[in-house]
Structure 1
Amino acid sequence: MTGRVVRVERISPRPGGAEEPLWTTYGYQLADPKVGAVKHRAEHAVFVRTLDRVAALLDRGFSLWMSRSGKRPSLIAPKSLRIVRT
């Protein structure tokens, strides 16, 4: 896979519209698969500043928090995401 990452999409978004990767003041929020069933907890969050880095971590099995306006963020498994590159 080559090219710059321009978007990460959920393959089957929740009803009501598309979701985007959750951006916080620390960057995009992901969850490390090494911590198992507690990966959703805030203390296990991993933050990165670029979509290219998000894509690299998704390839390693990390899950990504995604959201849209008016909805709670959801933790999405990498197999349920599509990486769009230029």
Structure 2
Amino acid sequence: MHGRVIRIERISSRAGVIEEPAITSKGYQLADAAHGKNKHHAELAVYAKSLDEVVVLINKGFSLWMSAKGKRASLIAPGSLRIVRSEDGISA
């Protein structure tokens, strides 16, 4: 797995929408599985400044908030995400 991360996709996106990683003024928002059933709480959020940093956290088991225009953001588990890199195409 080489190359810069250019996109993160939800493997099974909601019908009719294109979901992208949710980004806030603090960066891309993720949730640590170590927080169990409370991982979705905003005060426990972890932020990453780049997609490359996001992938490092996903590989450690963090879930990623994904959103689409007009839809509420959803917390997506690492196994339901596809990482797209500039150099080698799609990899998981």
Q: Specify the TM-score bucket, using the shorter chain as the normaliser.
A: over 0.9
Alignment of 1:47 with 2:50, yes or no, is: no
Q: TM-score, normalised by structure 2?
A: 0.91
Alignment partners' CA distance in 2, 1:33 and 1:2:
26
Q: Report the CA distance between 1:17 and its aligned residue.
A: 1.8
Which structure features the higher share of strand residues? Answer: 2
Partner residue of 2:89?
A: none
Q: Report the CA distance between 1:26 and its aligned residue.
A: 0.5
> Aligned runs of 1:40-79 on 2, under 5 Å?
40-79=40-79
Q: SS in structure 2 opposite 1:12?
A: coil
Alignment of 1:38 with 2:31, yes or no, is: no
Q: SS in structure 2 opposite 1:82?
A: strand
Q: Report the CA distance between 1:32 and its aligned residue.
A: 0.7
| Aligned positions, number | 86
Deviation string, structure 1 residues 3-48 (Cα, Å, up to 9, x no partner): 1000000000001121000010100000011111100000110001
Q: 4+ residue runs of structure 1 moved beyond 3 angstroms?
A: none
Unmatched tracts of structure 2, length 5 or more? 87-92
Q: SS in structure 2 opposite 1:54?
A: helix
The one-letter code of the counterpart of 1:73 is A
Identical positions, percent: 62
Partner residue of 1:23?
A: 23
